[in-house]
Amino acid sequence: MKRHLISAADLTRDDAVLILDTAEEMARVADRPIKKLPTLRGRTVVNLFFEDSTRTRISFEAAEKRLSADVINFTAKGSSVSKGESLKDTAQTLEAMGVDAVVIRHGASGAPYRLATSDWIDAAVINAGDGTHQHPTQALLDAFTMRRRLVGRDAGLGQDLAGKRITIVGDVLHSRVARSNVDLLHTLGAEVTLVAPPTLLPVGVDHWTCDVSYDLDSVLPKSDAVMMLRVQRERMNAAFFPTEREYSRRYGLDGERMARMPEHGIVMHPGPMVRGMEITAEVADSDRCTVIEQVANGVHTRMAVLYLLLGGNEPAVSHARPVDSETK
Amino acid sequence: MDTQQPDAARPVLEGPDIARVLTRIAHEIVERAKGADDVVLLGIPTRGVFLARRLADKLEEITAGKVPVGSLDITMYRDDLRMHPPRALARTEIPGDGLDGKLVVLVDDVLFSGRTIRAALDALNDLGRPRAVQLAVLVDRGHRELPIRADYVGKNLPTSLRETVKVLLAEEDGRDAVLLGAKRTAQDGEQ
Amino acid sequence: MSKILIRGAKVLGGEVQDVLIDGETVAAVGTGLSAEGAQVIEADGQILLPGLVDLHTHLREPGREDSETVLTGTRAAARGGYTSVFAMANTFPVADTAGVVEQVWRLGREHGYCDVQPIGAVTVGLEGKQLAELGAMHDSAAGVTVFSDDGKCVDDAVIMRRALEYVKAFGGVVAQHAQEPRLTEGAQMNEGVVSAELGLGGWPAVAEESIIARDVLLAEHVGSRVHICHLSTAGSVEIVRWAKSRGIDVTAEVTPHHLLLTDELVRSYNPVYKVNPPLRTEADVLALREALADGTIDIVATDHAPHPHEDKDCEWAAAAMGMVGLETALSVVQHTMVDSGLMNWADVADRMSVKPARIGGAEDHGRPVSAGEPANLTLVDPAYRGPVNPAGFASRSRNTPYEGRELPGRVTHTFLRGRATVVDGKLA
């Protein structure tokens, strides 16, 4: 793991497991009367959001505050300067204020990568979702949720997701969540199958480390987890599929379909859900659906990422080491 | 440092000695606490946790009552976080009844600068409000950097800063011993 | 400085000869020519080529003088060994009237670094709806013969057909920027494995190939000639090859960057690699090289597209498309085509001077290096090796994808009608 977290593909298996293990310990903080740790006291983190995403921003903010970081929220939407100038100028403004890390959400794929590799700033960069590219902390919280449910809270410590069969359904083409999950789940040893109408799969998907199917019903019985992606109604107008009704009939998850999953199988969704489109209310509200858990797990996972990137003198997870009596 | 194996490490306590001092500490705790009714033992990972469990067993033998044991990871409260890469976290496990109004005995293997215990006190602050907090250590090697002292000490071991103290416990290391050795590199500061 | 003797040059890479320039013309070519009264340039075995001709340059003036002007662009051209450039019409205002093309043409003549032949827009404002006054532009002092909406595709089949037909009246040619607009909405890079991973909007090969296929069939139907700009895919090569085998009057160009770079570079998200048409795959690059060597692709054209720093110093999606190319084109061609053994220097002269001059109707350019011909010449040191240093560019812009890359060859001298515009690699 590097100074930045830009793509789930950058994480090794050991990095990812360390993050998930650390997140488990962070989760226990949430059960305490005082849900706060002094770890990032005196560090300044900016949440730089060029795109509206209240839930992701709140999740990061909660994680930052629980670690006692100083938090600055910066919503750059609606700036009159051209987007390119505003990213660079904004970054340099923040740099001048002495921030230690930038959590960035941007509509342009690659913007966080560009920020991290340009000479614009020195701060650590954490990608909170860029265009249709990556959303690594989402993939981490999803993996965390899967490991808890499919391996076990304590049994899962130190473990990956070897052999687990994960199905991701929906608008893969426009989904950074899908890309991040395919990368991370593969690294963690899971077998991923993407299910979508061919119009919503990118050209070149055959080179991804996963299987592809157009038939949800054939995949469900062997799915330990099914992740439903949000399908925006506007896609219909661009001829990605004929009607909402046809989409949900072929690719939506309803109670009847859910019953074909193995008994231990879970239903996931990165939110926000479009009930009646990709998921019925019956499924969304069932106890197999982990949507609310995912939200809670998002805070734990982001705390883990922040701690491992910013908690020490050099943000290098692979150098993390256990405490020993000799270092006291 | 942590990976250092002192070449000519000399045992200052062997297995039976460790068992004996733990028994003594258990008796001291019972004596000072007038029984062990409200005692909660919190071990500091890694070896402090094993010591806390052993102490709890001995306390239960003496008092025939149940003694709650937990662990307290102080990593996130350390004052030297910025001097190292981030460390993997250990478990903090607070027994079910919590800490409020209890006599918390912190248990660690070696007392040295006192910074670990300072961090532990900070961590405790976020976890509840004990009636009192005491400290039990297997070895006190001196060289305090903070106004902190142990209530129960297995062995006072005068050392120089050029020496290392290594505690081995069967649960983690396969055998019980306290080794005194020479530091290979002349690195000061953190020790 | 009326006489110049270039001593010991390999003319078109062949025999070592002396070339005597007298005034604006080549006076003699041979061995042991007398240096009397002439300034002597020791070529020492360097390659002598006819001055290069670029059928596809963006000089940006009028309107975007912050990225390039006719002066800076022609100075860059001279440094790259060019004696003639065709200036694309997508300026502000658009070169869709006699007035604008004459202005550009005059500026080129005044500066004198390189002949500037304006290209006229096919449609008013490049909007693809109404034909511009093609005849008036042809009849103007600029004498426009090449028409292009480059930057935009003439996607309406009827407009394209009419344009192809109309320019026959005065021997013009339409140069098509082949890009089906609907298939490339939001396109950011080549559509394929890399775009899928990077989450950047795809620019599929079919969007280029379908337009080329349509336009060669249209050209055949109406008996016109058509020129295809910056061909970038293996499929486009196949279509052009097929069209030529059918006797369709089609010519095609390839840019230096499409002969060398692939979409793998986009993984850096560095907008210096953002260009339209986009960088394609290795297989496309190899097909383009082969097609240039076998003549399926007629010429190399730079698509020199200067942009100011701030238009590239930003995130990918916000960045402008395009690369500067005039000052590196010959080096890239040497590297990809000559040093690889696919072509010799005579082929380079053909693809970078003779053919483009013929397609564009630049009569004084692309001539043989022989007595009586206009002295438009370029002397190249093929043994030179060195990293590309944008700070040394004559162009006003620095958006080169080759910064720091070691490329072979260096233009040491350029002569425009007998006058040296570049001496020892520096502008005269």
Query: What does the H/E/C string look like for chain C?
Result: CCEEEEEEEEECCCCEEEEEEECCEEEEEECCCCCCCCEEEECCCCEEEECEEEEEECCCCCCCCCCCCHHHHHHHHHHCCEEEEEECCCCCCCCCCHHHHHHHHHHHHHHCCCEEEECECCEHHHCCCCECCHHHHHHCCCCCCEECCCCCCCCCHHHHHHHHHHHHHHCCEEEECCCCCHHHCCCCEECCHHHHHHCCCEECHHHHHHHHHHHHHHHHHHCCCEEECCCCCHHHHHHHHHHHHCCCCEEEEECHHHHHCCHHHHHHCCHHHCCCCCCCCHHHHHHHHHHHHHCCCCEECCCECCCCHHHCCCCHHHCCCCECCCCCHHHHHHHHHHCCCCCCHHHHHHHHHHHHHHHHCCCCCCCCCCCCCECCEEEEEEEEEEEECHHHCCCCCCCCCCECCEEEEEEEEEEECCEEEEECCEEC
Q: B4 contacts in A (CB within 8 Å)? A: 326
When pLDDT is averaged across residues C366-389 and rounded to a whole number, the result is 97
CB-CB contact of C427 with C394 (8 Å): yes
Alpha-carbon gap, residue A94 to A97, rounded angstroms: 5
Q: Would you kindly state where each structural domain of chain B is located, as residue ranges?
A: 16-79+90-161
When pLDDT is averaged across residues A41-50 and rounded to a whole number, the result is 93
Q: Which pLDDT score is estimated for C373? A: 97
Fold of the domain spanning B16-79+90-161: Rossmann fold (3.40.50)
Share above pLDDT 70 across residues of chain A, in percent, rounded to a whole number = 92
Using pLDDT thresholds of 50, 70 and 90, give the confidence band for residue B7.
Answer: low
Of B85, B108, B122, the CB nearest to A38: B122
Q: Which residues pair with B135 in a beta bridge?
A: B106
Residue C300 dihedral angles phi and psi, to the nearest 5°? -100, 130
Q: Summarize pLDDT for B140-160 with one digit per residue, the tens.
A: 999 999 999 999 999 999 999
- What three-state secondary structure class fits A76? coil
Residues 6+ apart with CB under 8 A from A184: A8, A9, A11, A16, A136, A139, A140, A142, A143
Q: Please indicate if any CB of chain A lies within 8 Å of the CB of B159.
A: no
Q: Which residues pair with C123 in a beta bridge?
A: C131
Alpha-carbon gap, residue C10 to A145, rounded angstroms: 71
Q: C194 contacts in A (CB within 8 Å)? A: 204
Q: Which amino acid is at B124?
A: L
Q: Summarize pLDDT for C162-173 with one digit per residue, the tens.
A: 999 999 999 999
Q: Please indicate if any CB of chain B lies within 8 Å of the CB of A158.
A: no
- Angle value at C-alpha C192, between C190 and C193, nearest 5 degrees: 125
Using pLDDT thresholds of 50, 70 and 90, give the confidence band for residue B189.
Answer: very low
Q: Which residue has the tokens 């989904």?
A: A175
Q: Please indicate if any CB of chain B lies within 8 Å of the CB of A30.
A: no
In the predicted structure, residue A323 carries a pLDDT above the cut 70:
no
Q: Please indicate if any CB of chain B lies within 8 Å of the CB of A207.
A: no
CATH of the structural domain C51-360, one choice from 3.20.20.140, 1.10.10.10, 3.40.50.720, 3.40.1280.10 = 3.20.20.140
Q: Which pLDDT score is estimated for A33? A: 83
In the predicted structure, residue A322 carries a pLDDT above the cut 50:
no
Q: Please indicate if any CB of chain B lies within 8 Å of the CB of A22.
A: yes
Using pLDDT thresholds of 50, 70 and 90, give the confidence band for residue A64.
Answer: very high
Q: Which pLDDT score is estimated for A74? A: 87
Determine whether the interchain pair A87/C195 forms a contact, defined as Cβ–Cβ distance below 8 Å. no
In CATH, C3-47+373-427 is 3.40.50.1100:
no
Alpha-carbon gap, residue C205 to C199, rounded angstroms: 17
For residue A306 the two structure tokens come to 């922040």
CATH 3.40.50.1370 domain span(s) along chain A: 8-135+294-327, 136-292
Determine whether the interchain pair B2/A324 forms a contact, defined as Cβ–Cβ distance below 8 Å. yes
Of B85, B108, B110, the CB nearest to A319: B85
Alpha-carbon gap, residue A58 to A79, rounded angstroms: 22
Q: Which pLDDT score is estimated for C170? A: 96
Q: Summarize pLDDT for B17-50 with one digit per residue, the tens.
A: 999 999 999 999 999 988 878 999 999 999 999 9
Least CA distance to C186: which residue of chain A?
Answer: A108
Q: Please indicate if any CB of chain C lies within 8 Å of the CB of A176.
A: yes
Q: Which residue has the tokens 């939001």?
A: C186
Q: Please indicate if any CB of chain C lies within 8 Å of the CB of A83.
A: yes
Q: How far is CA B94 from its chain centroid?
A: 16
Determine whether the interchain pair A320/B87 forms a contact, defined as Cβ–Cβ distance below 8 Å. yes
In the predicted structure, residue A319 carries a pLDDT above the cut 90:
no
For residue A316 the two structure tokens come to 């290098």
A67: closest CA of chain B, how far (Å):
9
Determine whether the interchain pair A203/C198 forms a contact, defined as Cβ–Cβ distance below 8 Å. no
Question: Is ipTM beyond 0.85?
Answer: yes
Q: Which amino acid is at A104?
A: I
Share above pLDDT 70 across residues of chain C, in percent, rounded to a whole number = 100
Q: Summarize pLDDT for A184-203 with one digit per residue, the tens.
A: 999 999 999 999 999 999 99
**Which CA distances in Å does A29 have to A299, A304, C202, C206, C421?**
11, 12, 44, 55, 74
Alpha-carbon gap, residue B23 to B33, rounded angstroms: 15
In the predicted structure, residue A124 carries a pLDDT above the cut 80:
yes
Q: The pTM is what?
A: 0.90
When pLDDT is averaged across residues C346-357 and rounded to a whole number, the result is 98
Active site residue C303: yes
Q: Which pLDDT score is estimated for B185? A: 59
Q: Summarize pLDDT for A285-303 with one digit per residue, the tens.
A: 999 999 999 999 999 999 9
Q: Which pLDDT score is estimated for B183? A: 80
First to last CA, chain B: 8
State in words which class domain A8-135+294-327 has.
Answer: alpha beta
For residue C224 the two structure tokens come to 């016109």
Q: Which residue has the tokens 């002495």?
A: A98
Determine whether the interchain pair A110/C197 forms a contact, defined as Cβ–Cβ distance below 8 Å. no
Q: Would you kindly state where each structural domain of chain C is located, as residue ranges?
A: 3-47+373-427, 51-360
When pLDDT is averaged across residues C70-96 and rounded to a whole number, the result is 97
Determine whether the interchain pair A109/C317 forms a contact, defined as Cβ–Cβ distance below 8 Å. yes
Alpha-carbon gap, residue B91 to A24, rounded angstroms: 9
Those chains having 3 or more beta-carbon pairs within 8 angstroms of chain A are B, C
When pLDDT is averaged across residues A26-52 and rounded to a whole number, the result is 91
Q: Which pLDDT score is estimated for C305? A: 98
Q: Which pLDDT score is estimated for A328? A: 37
- What three-state secondary structure class fits A105? strand
When pLDDT is averaged across residues B62-82 and rounded to a whole number, the result is 93
First to last CA, chain A: 26
The strands making up B177-182's β-sheet, listed across from edge to edge, are B10-14, B177-182, B163-168
Q: Which residue has the tokens 């002094």?
A: A38
For chain A, give the mean pLDDT.
90
Any contact of C with B, at least 3 CB pairs below 8 A?
no
Quick one: DSSP state of residue A321? -
Name which of A74, A56, A200 is nearest A136 in CA terms: A56
In the predicted structure, residue A317 carries a pLDDT above the cut 60:
no
- Which residues of A, range 182-211, sit inside 8 Å of C by Cβ? 202-205, 207-208
Q: Which pLDDT score is estimated for C348? A: 98
- Which residues of A, range 297-316, sit inside 8 Å of B by Cβ? 307-309, 311-316
Share above pLDDT 90 across residues of chain C, in percent, rounded to a whole number = 98
CB-CB contact of C203 with C278 (8 Å): yes
A/C interface, count of CB pairs below 8 Å: 88
* Greater pLDDT, C231 or A275: C231
Determine whether the interchain pair B84/A312 forms a contact, defined as Cβ–Cβ distance below 8 Å. yes
Q: Which residues pair with A73 in a beta bridge?
A: A47
In the predicted structure, residue B96 carries a pLDDT above the cut 60:
yes
SS (H, E, C) chain B: CCCCCCCCCEEEEEHHHHHHHHHHHHHHHHHHHCCCCCEEEEECCCHHHHHHHHHHHHHHHHHCCCCCEEECCCHHHCCCHHHCCCCCCCCCECCCCCCCCCEEEEEEEEECCCHHHHHHHHHHHHHCCCCEEEEEEEEECCCCCCCCCCCEEEEECCCCCCEEEEEECHHHHCCCEEEEEECCCCCCCCC
Least CA distance to A180: which residue of chain C?
Answer: C197
Q: Summarize pLDDT for A82-96 with one digit per residue, the tens.
A: 455 578 888 888 888
Q: Which pLDDT score is estimated for A318? A: 43
Name which of A47, A61, A51 is nearest A126 in CA terms: A47
Point out the catalytic residue in the list C150, C263, C303, C347: C303
A235: closest CA of chain C, how far (Å):
14
For residue A34 the two structure tokens come to 């005082």
Q: Sort strands C419-423 and C426-427 into parallel, antiparallel or unpaired.
A: antiparallel
Residues 6+ apart with CB under 8 A from A69: A40, A41, A43, A44, A45, A100, A306, A310
How many C-beta atoms lie closer than 10 Å to residue A81's C-beta? Answer: 12
> Which segments of A are annotated as binding site for L-aspartate?
83, 176, 230
Q: Summarize pLDDT for C183-224 with one digit per residue, the tens.
A: 999 999 999 999 999 999 999 999 999 999 999 999 999 999
In the predicted structure, residue A22 carries a pLDDT above the cut 60:
yes
Q: Write the DSSP assignment of A28-56 as a string of letters.
A: HHTTSSS----TTTT-EEEEEESS--HHH
- Angle value at C-alpha B144, between B140 and B145, nearest 5 degrees: 155
CB-CB contact of C203 with C184 (8 Å): yes
Fold of the domain spanning A136-292: Rossmann fold (3.40.50)
Determine whether the interchain pair C310/A204 forms a contact, defined as Cβ–Cβ distance below 8 Å. no
Q: B128 contacts in A (CB within 8 Å)? A: 33
Task: Evaluate the omega torsion of the peptide bond into residue B46 and state whether it is cis, within 30 degrees of 0.
Answer: yes
Q: Which pLDDT score is estimated for A232? A: 83
Name which of C120, C53, C133 is nearest C358 in CA terms: C53
CB-CB contact of C229 with C253 (8 Å): yes
Rg (CA), chain B: 16
Q: Which residue has the tokens 């070529």?
A: C43
Determine whether the interchain pair A117/C269 forms a contact, defined as Cβ–Cβ distance below 8 Å. yes
Q: Which pLDDT score is estimated for A2? A: 58
Q: A14 contacts in B (CB within 8 Å)? A: none
For chain C, give the mean pLDDT.
97
Least CA distance to A325: which residue of chain B?
Answer: B110
Q: A131 contacts in C (CB within 8 Å)? A: 199-200, 317
CB-CB contact of C399 with C322 (8 Å): yes
Alpha-carbon gap, residue B110 to A91, rounded angstroms: 47
Least CA distance to C269: which residue of chain A?
Answer: A110
In the predicted structure, residue B186 carries a pLDDT above the cut 60:
no
B29: closest CA of chain A, how far (Å):
23
